[in-house]
Chains A and B, each alone.
Chain A
Amino acid sequence: KNQVEQSPQSLIILEGKNCTLQCNYTVSPFSNLRWYKQDTGRGPVSLTIMTFSENTKSNGRYTATLDADTKQSSLHITASQLSDSASYICVVRGYGGATNKLIFGTGTLLAVQP
Protein backbone atom coordinates (compact mmCIF):
# COMPACT_ATOMS: atom_id res chain seq x y z
CA LYS A 1 0.00 0.00 0.00
CA ASN A 2 1.31 3.44 -0.95
CA GLN A 3 1.88 5.46 2.19
CA VAL A 4 3.59 8.63 3.35
CA GLU A 5 4.59 8.95 7.01
CA GLN A 6 5.91 12.08 8.66
CA SER A 7 7.71 12.66 11.91
CA PRO A 8 7.56 14.17 14.36
CA GLN A 9 3.83 14.76 14.58
CA SER A 10 4.46 18.09 16.26
CA LEU A 11 7.46 20.17 17.22
CA ILE A 12 8.10 23.27 19.31
CA ILE A 13 11.29 25.28 18.81
CA LEU A 14 12.60 28.68 19.81
CA GLU A 15 12.87 31.46 17.29
CA GLY A 16 16.24 31.45 15.56
CA LYS A 17 16.83 27.72 16.01
CA ASN A 18 17.07 25.16 13.21
CA CYS A 19 14.89 22.08 12.82
CA THR A 20 14.48 19.08 10.55
CA LEU A 21 11.26 17.36 9.59
CA GLN A 22 11.18 13.82 8.24
CA CYS A 23 9.15 12.08 5.57
CA ASN A 24 9.26 8.36 4.76
CA TYR A 25 7.29 6.92 1.87
CA THR A 26 6.50 3.58 0.32
CA VAL A 27 5.08 4.93 -2.95
CA SER A 28 6.44 2.99 -5.89
CA PRO A 29 7.24 3.65 -8.63
CA PHE A 30 8.15 7.15 -7.57
CA SER A 31 7.73 10.32 -9.63
CA ASN A 32 8.28 13.28 -7.36
CA LEU A 33 7.92 14.62 -3.83
CA ARG A 34 6.71 18.01 -2.71
CA TRP A 35 6.81 19.78 0.60
CA TYR A 36 3.86 22.05 1.32
CA LYS A 37 3.45 24.63 4.05
CA GLN A 38 -0.06 25.06 5.44
CA ASP A 39 -0.70 28.06 7.65
CA THR A 40 -3.60 27.80 10.07
CA GLY A 41 -6.86 28.48 8.24
CA ARG A 42 -5.22 28.52 4.82
CA GLY A 43 -4.68 26.11 1.97
CA PRO A 44 -1.33 24.35 1.46
CA VAL A 45 1.34 26.20 -0.51
CA SER A 46 4.19 24.41 -2.29
CA LEU A 47 7.70 25.00 -0.94
CA THR A 48 9.71 22.72 -3.16
CA ILE A 49 9.47 19.76 -5.52
CA MET A 50 12.06 17.02 -5.86
CA THR A 51 12.37 14.40 -8.56
CA PHE A 52 14.10 11.04 -8.50
CA SER A 53 17.46 12.42 -9.60
CA GLU A 54 17.61 15.32 -7.16
CA ASN A 55 19.28 15.01 -3.75
CA THR A 56 18.83 18.50 -2.35
CA LYS A 57 16.95 21.67 -3.19
CA SER A 58 16.73 24.97 -1.36
CA ASN A 59 14.08 27.66 -1.18
CA GLY A 60 15.36 30.45 1.02
CA ARG A 61 15.71 29.12 4.55
CA TYR A 62 14.07 25.84 3.56
CA THR A 63 16.24 22.98 2.30
CA ALA A 64 14.77 19.67 1.22
CA THR A 65 16.72 16.47 0.76
CA LEU A 66 15.73 13.25 -0.93
CA ASP A 67 17.18 9.75 -0.75
CA ALA A 68 15.25 7.76 -3.34
CA ASP A 69 17.04 4.54 -2.39
CA THR A 70 15.84 4.60 1.21
CA LYS A 71 12.62 6.44 0.28
CA GLN A 72 13.25 9.23 2.75
CA SER A 73 13.04 13.00 2.54
CA SER A 74 13.73 15.74 5.03
CA LEU A 75 12.91 19.42 5.25
CA HIS A 76 15.44 21.54 7.12
CA ILE A 77 14.46 24.99 8.33
CA THR A 78 17.31 27.33 9.17
CA ALA A 79 17.13 30.26 11.58
CA SER A 80 13.44 29.77 12.25
CA GLN A 81 11.04 32.71 12.40
CA LEU A 82 7.66 33.08 14.06
CA SER A 83 6.09 33.00 10.59
CA ASP A 84 7.40 29.47 10.10
CA SER A 85 4.74 28.26 12.55
CA ALA A 86 2.56 26.05 10.36
CA SER A 87 1.87 22.48 9.34
CA TYR A 88 4.36 21.01 6.86
CA ILE A 89 2.99 18.35 4.58
CA CYS A 90 4.98 15.87 2.51
CA VAL A 91 3.23 14.81 -0.69
CA VAL A 92 4.42 12.03 -2.97
CA ARG A 93 3.30 11.28 -6.50
CA GLY A 94 3.69 7.86 -7.98
CA TYR A 95 4.62 7.20 -11.58
CA GLY A 96 1.89 5.89 -13.83
CA GLY A 97 -1.71 5.19 -12.97
CA ALA A 98 -4.11 8.08 -12.50
CA THR A 99 -2.32 11.28 -13.37
CA ASN A 100 -1.98 13.90 -10.69
CA LYS A 101 -2.77 11.35 -7.98
CA LEU A 102 -1.02 12.44 -4.85
CA ILE A 103 -0.39 10.64 -1.56
CA PHE A 104 -0.45 13.09 1.34
CA GLY A 105 1.31 12.72 4.66
CA THR A 106 -0.51 13.80 7.81
CA GLY A 107 1.89 16.67 8.37
CA THR A 108 4.20 17.96 11.08
CA LEU A 109 2.81 20.83 13.14
CA LEU A 110 5.63 23.28 13.89
CA ALA A 111 5.33 25.98 16.53
CA VAL A 112 8.08 28.60 16.72
CA GLN A 113 8.10 30.44 20.01
CA PRO A 114 9.77 33.78 20.78
Chain B
Amino acid sequence: EAQVTQNPRYLITVTGKKLTVTCSQNMNHEYMSWYRQDPGLGLRQIYYSMNVEVTDKGDVPEGYKVSRKEKRNFPLILESPSPNQTSLYFCASAPSGSSSYNEQFFGPGTRLTVL
Protein backbone atom coordinates (compact mmCIF):
# COMPACT_ATOMS: atom_id res chain seq x y z
CA GLU B 1 0.00 0.00 0.00
CA ALA B 2 1.32 3.42 -0.98
CA GLN B 3 1.73 5.46 2.16
CA VAL B 4 3.67 7.85 4.33
CA THR B 5 4.46 6.50 7.77
CA GLN B 6 5.54 8.38 10.87
CA ASN B 7 6.88 7.18 14.18
CA PRO B 8 6.12 7.58 16.93
CA ARG B 9 2.46 8.57 16.66
CA TYR B 10 2.41 9.98 20.17
CA LEU B 11 5.28 11.25 22.28
CA ILE B 12 5.53 12.97 25.63
CA THR B 13 8.96 14.26 26.54
CA VAL B 14 10.67 16.84 28.72
CA THR B 15 12.38 20.08 27.84
CA GLY B 16 15.87 19.64 26.44
CA LYS B 17 15.75 15.91 25.71
CA LYS B 18 16.73 15.34 22.09
CA LEU B 19 14.23 13.45 20.00
CA THR B 20 13.73 12.27 16.44
CA VAL B 21 10.48 11.73 14.59
CA THR B 22 10.91 9.42 11.63
CA CYS B 23 9.11 9.71 8.31
CA SER B 24 9.21 7.20 5.50
CA GLN B 25 7.42 6.97 2.14
CA ASN B 26 7.22 4.01 -0.24
CA MET B 27 6.12 5.89 -3.37
CA ASN B 28 9.59 6.85 -4.66
CA HIS B 29 8.68 10.51 -4.23
CA GLU B 30 11.38 13.12 -4.68
CA TYR B 31 9.75 15.81 -2.54
CA MET B 32 9.21 15.53 1.21
CA SER B 33 8.16 18.07 3.80
CA TRP B 34 7.42 18.55 7.49
CA TYR B 35 4.53 20.61 8.85
CA ARG B 36 3.22 21.47 12.26
CA GLN B 37 -0.45 22.04 13.00
CA ASP B 38 -1.58 24.15 15.94
CA PRO B 39 -5.11 25.12 17.03
CA GLY B 40 -6.37 28.18 15.18
CA LEU B 41 -3.48 28.11 12.73
CA GLY B 42 -3.17 26.44 9.38
CA LEU B 43 -0.47 23.90 8.72
CA ARG B 44 2.90 25.61 8.68
CA GLN B 45 5.90 24.26 6.85
CA ILE B 46 9.00 23.52 8.92
CA TYR B 47 11.45 22.12 6.38
CA TYR B 48 11.25 20.57 2.96
CA SER B 49 13.45 18.51 0.68
CA MET B 50 13.38 18.60 -3.10
CA ASN B 51 15.51 15.46 -3.37
CA VAL B 52 18.22 13.44 -1.63
CA GLU B 53 20.77 15.65 0.12
CA VAL B 54 18.73 18.79 -0.71
CA THR B 55 16.88 20.41 2.18
CA ASP B 56 15.59 23.92 2.77
CA LYS B 57 13.87 25.95 5.46
CA GLY B 58 10.14 26.45 5.47
CA ASP B 59 8.25 29.11 7.37
CA VAL B 60 8.99 27.97 10.93
CA PRO B 61 12.37 26.16 10.97
CA GLU B 62 13.70 27.43 14.31
CA GLY B 63 14.48 24.64 16.75
CA TYR B 64 14.31 21.86 14.15
CA LYS B 65 16.77 19.96 11.98
CA VAL B 66 16.23 17.53 9.14
CA SER B 67 18.31 15.27 6.93
CA ARG B 68 17.67 13.48 3.64
CA LYS B 69 20.28 10.79 3.19
CA GLU B 70 17.91 8.41 1.44
CA LYS B 71 15.02 9.10 -0.87
CA ARG B 72 12.44 7.34 1.28
CA ASN B 73 13.34 8.79 4.70
CA PHE B 74 13.11 12.33 6.06
CA PRO B 75 13.56 12.43 9.85
CA LEU B 76 12.72 15.51 11.92
CA ILE B 77 15.14 16.21 14.77
CA LEU B 78 14.49 18.36 17.81
CA GLU B 79 17.90 18.86 19.43
CA SER B 80 16.55 20.60 22.55
CA PRO B 81 12.76 20.52 22.59
CA SER B 82 10.86 23.31 24.32
CA PRO B 83 7.20 23.53 25.38
CA ASN B 84 6.38 25.81 22.40
CA GLN B 85 7.16 22.86 20.15
CA THR B 86 4.19 20.98 21.55
CA SER B 87 2.16 20.40 18.42
CA LEU B 88 0.79 17.94 15.87
CA TYR B 89 3.40 17.17 13.23
CA PHE B 90 2.78 15.91 9.72
CA CYS B 91 5.20 14.57 7.17
CA ALA B 92 4.19 14.76 3.51
CA SER B 93 5.61 13.65 0.18
CA ALA B 94 4.96 14.45 -3.48
CA PRO B 95 6.23 12.98 -6.76
CA SER B 96 8.44 15.98 -7.45
CA GLY B 97 9.05 19.50 -6.29
CA SER B 98 9.01 21.01 -9.73
CA SER B 99 5.31 20.65 -10.55
CA SER B 100 2.76 23.00 -9.03
CA TYR B 101 0.01 20.42 -9.46
CA ASN B 102 1.48 17.50 -7.57
CA GLU B 103 -0.70 16.34 -4.69
CA GLN B 104 1.06 16.04 -1.37
CA PHE B 105 0.38 12.82 0.51
CA PHE B 106 0.35 13.22 4.25
CA GLY B 107 1.35 10.85 6.99
CA PRO B 108 -0.93 10.08 9.95
CA GLY B 109 0.66 12.68 12.22
CA THR B 110 2.75 12.67 15.39
CA ARG B 111 1.33 14.32 18.48
CA LEU B 112 4.22 15.72 20.51
CA THR B 113 3.96 17.12 24.02
CA VAL B 114 6.98 18.79 25.59
CA LEU B 115 6.72 19.30 29.35
Q: Are B31 and A43 in contact (CB under 8 A)?
A: no
B100 interface residue, CB < 8 Å from A? Answer: yes
Interface string of B63-93 (1 = CB under 8 A from A): 0000000000000000000000000001010
Q: Are A99 and B108 in contact (CB under 8 A)?
A: no
Across-interface contacts of A42 in B (CB, < 8 A): 108-109
Q: Given A4-B42, A100-B48, A100-B94, A43–B103 Cβ distance below 8 Å?
A: no
Alpha-carbon distance between A4 and B44 when the two chains are bound, in angstroms: 13
Alpha-carbon distance between A102 and B100 when the two chains are bound, in angstroms: 10
Alpha-carbon distance between A1 and B31 when the two chains are bound, in angstroms: 26
Q: Are B44 and A99 in contact (CB under 8 A)?
A: no
Across-interface contacts of A100 in B (CB, < 8 A): 31, 33, 48, 94, 97, 100, 102, 104
Q: Are B106 and A49 in contact (CB under 8 A)?
A: no
Q: How many residues of A contact B (CB 8 A)?
A: 25
| Nearest A-chain residue to B92, judged by Cβ | A43
Q: Are A31 and B100 in contact (CB under 8 A)?
A: yes
Q: Given A100-B33, A101-B45, A93–B100 Cβ distance below 8 Å?
A: yes
Q: Are B42 and A89 in contact (CB under 8 A)?
A: yes
Alpha-carbon distance between A89 and B98 when the two chains are bound, in angstroms: 23
CB distance from A40 to the nearest CB of B (A): 10
Q: Are B42 and A105 in contact (CB under 8 A)?
A: yes
Q: Are B100 and A95 in contact (CB under 8 A)?
A: yes
Interface of A with B (CB < 8 Å)?
A: 4, 31-32, 34, 41-46, 49, 51, 89, 93, 95, 98-107
Kindly list the 8 A-B residue pairs having the minimum CB-CB distance in the complex, ordered from nearest. A43-B106, A104-B42, A104-B43, A31-B100, A46-B103, A106-B42, A100-B97, A99-B97
